[in-house]
A and B are shown apart, each in its own frame.
Chain A
Amino acid sequence: MRNLITFVWRNYFFFLFLLLEVFCIYLVVQNNYFQRASFINSSNNVSAKILKTSADVEEYFYLKSENEKLARENAELRSRSLVSFSMLVDDKFQVSDTVYRQKYTYTSCKVVNNSTSRRNNFLTLDKGSNHGVKNNMAVITSTGVVGQVKDVSENFCTVMSLLNSKTTISSKIKKDGSYGPLTWDGADYRFGTLHDIPTHVRLAKGDTVVTSAYSRTFPENIMVGFVESFERKAGDYFYTVQVRLSTEFKKVSHVYIVTNMHKEEQEELEKRTEVDGKE
């Protein structure tokens, strides 16, 4: 035993290195496999505050274009609205209607941190569990999808952007409804890749791609992008489609978090069915 202690003591440098390294790898792996709220991320208070100040300053540079975008969106919404009397509760827009049952509510948020140049990109938003944000909620802008909420703290949340190796969004070609998973290959932040589109579909450049109804997170028919090019790889029965994303990830500054009010009900039902099926 004493020998062991002497041995460890003599090589303490190596063992200390091993200890720290194992701890780091543990952090990495834990974060990769479980979408748990981890302590070390930018929704943590100190770093979030610094980033928020930086984003506040930066925002002034984009005020003009942002205002124009909001005004355009306002006008569009006003011209379209059937129910002009929506109830306003803490930035959340909810509509009471006796004919249509509301499925989604929207919370508007500001982006305080964003990246596009890395392989796995994240955004930080200024709404958190205090505002009812939960894990895996969808995040969209007026122009298209952005990503999914990953971690939530009291006043902030981090979003796994579409520009991330772990994000997959179920999308479909709008004109005929054939669907497949959309991923990002890490090359260019303006393009995503849509897989598994059957070869009988008559694709054309400029076809609209929207989210499909099979995603539990995203509402149906949210804009994703436009078909840029498509190819059938040798030995493949499907088209691989390159999609020009409609969201400009370099410019996002105001986004909406989408709450699916029936998500838990659906998940519970599906889980029950699966359990029954196994028996």
Chain B
Amino acid sequence: MLNEIIRNIIRFLLLVLVQVLIIKNIELGRFINPFIYVLFIIVLPFETPKWVLLFCGFTMGITIDMFYDTPGMHAAACVFMAYIRPGILKLFSPRDGYEFGTQPTVQYLGVPWFLSYSGILVFLHHLVLFYLEIFRFSEFFSTFFRVIVSTIFTVMLIVVTQYLFNRKKEQE
């Protein structure tokens, strides 16, 4: 349990640093803004209490906000995502529920499951984030396009990251 908490804290710090020092400086064109840090909320263990989930999302969002100069936007998107997560998990749950002690990751539940699960969460996160950023409806379709393209890139990055973590686990 304690081990799990420490691992998540390390993951939190790593993801924040990767996001603000590397991903923020990579410019893949004007519509693509991947936000890999959402991985932190996606792979929190199944047993995480719901309020912890919300506060984790909030902390993550506010931390990213500090670096992106967008007070509240990332936090709002992350909190929304954390709120939706239990529902999505229930929607995609296997017939006999989730095994105790596992995490919602590729190595436990496979690529197709993970793609649909993370895809929906990332899409909702980006939807809230980009529309909050623009804060009006005049650029509705270009923003929607931006949401979709960015979602694809974020999910791709997340899955790749999962495979990197995966290899490490097998060695343990």
Distance in angstroms between the alpha carbons of A13 and B99 in the assembled complex? 23
Q: Are A24 and B134 in contact (CB under 8 A)?
A: no
Interface residues on B, range: 35 or more
Point out the residue from B54, B66, B132, B135 that lies within 8 Å of A20, measured CB to CB.
B54
Docked-complex contact B27 and A116, CB < 8 angstroms: yes
B133 in the interface, Cβ–Cβ < 8 Å?
Answer: yes
Interface secondary structure of B, over-half rule:
helix
Alpha-carbon distance between A12 and B71 when the two chains are bound, in angstroms: 25
- Within B1-35, the residues touching A (CB, 8 Å) are 20-21, 24, 27, 29-30, 33
Q: Can you sample 25 A-B contacts with CB below 8 Å?
A: A13-B54, A17-B79, A17-B80, A17-B83, A21-B76, A21-B79, A25-B132, A27-B71, A28-B70, A28-B71, A28-B76, A28-B132, A31-B71, A32-B135, A38-B71, A40-B66, A40-B71, A40-B72, A41-B65, A41-B69, A42-B68, A118-B133, A119-B133, A119-B134, A188-B30
Question: Once bound together, how far apart are the Cα atoms of A263 and B54, in whole Å?
Answer: 46
Q: Tell me the B50-85 residues at the A interface (CB within 8 Å).
A: 50-51, 54-55, 57-58, 61-62, 65-73, 75-76, 79-80, 82-83
Residue B96 at the chain A interface, CB threshold 8 Å: no
Mark each residue of chain A from 31 to 46: 1 if its CB lies under 8 Å from any CB of chain B, else 0: 1100000111110101
Q: Once the chains bind, are B69 and A122 in contact (CB under 8 Å)?
A: yes
Cβ of B139 under 8 Å from chain A: yes
Contact with A along B36-59 (1 / 0, CB 8 A): 000000000000001100110110
Query: Nearest Cβ in chain B — how far from A55, in angstroms?
Result: 10
Q: A223 to B66, alpha carbons, bound, how many Å?
A: 32
Which A residues are in CB contact (< 8 Å) with B139?
Answer: 186
Q: In the bound complex, how far is the Cα of B24 from the Cα of A122, in angstroms? A: 13
Cβ–Cβ < 8 Å partners of A50 in chain B = 20-21, 67
Q: Is there an interface contact between A54 and B50, defined as CB atoms closer than 8 Å? A: no
B99 CB to nearest chain A CB (Å): 23
| Distance in Å: Cβ of B54 to nearest Cβ of chain A | 5
11 new A-B pairs (CB below 8 Å) besides A16-B50, A21-B76? Answer: A12-B51, A13-B50, A16-B51, A17-B82, A24-B76, A25-B132, A28-B132, A31-B72, A46-B66, A117-B29, A117-B33
Shortest beta-carbon distance, A135 to chain B, in Å? 15
Is B66 in contact with A21, judged by CB distance below 8 angstroms? no
B41 to A: closest C-beta gap in Å: 13
> What 1/0 mask marks residues of chain B from 122 to 163 whose CB sits below 8 Å from any chain A CB?
000000000011110001001000000000000000000000
A: residues with CB less than 8 A from B are 12-14, 16-17, 20-21, 23-28, 30-32, 38-42, 44, 46-47, 50-51, 54, 115-120, 122, 124, 158, 165, 186-189
Q: Is the CB of A27 within 8 A of B27?
A: no
**Assuming A44-B66, A186-B139, is B72 touching A26 (CB within 8 A)?**
yes
By the criterion CB–CB under 8 Å, are B54 and A115 in contact?
no
Contacting pair A165 B76 (CB below 8 A): no
A17 and B54 contacting across the interface, CB-CB below 8 Å: yes
B61 and A24 contact, CB distance less than 8 A: yes
Cβ contact within 8 Å between A42 and B30: no
Do residues B30 and A28 form an inter-chain contact, with CB atoms below 8 A? no
- Using Cβ atoms and an 8 Å threshold, which residues of chain A touch B65? 40-41
Are A27 and B72 touching (Cβ within 8 A)? yes
Q: A20-B79, A40-B65, A118-B133 are in contact. Are A28 and B54 (CB under 8 A)?
A: no
Min CB distance, A117 to chain B, in Å?
5
CA of A202 to CA of B111, assembled, Å: 61
- With beta carbons under 8 angstroms apart, the residue of A20, A23, A26, A158 that contacts B69 is A158
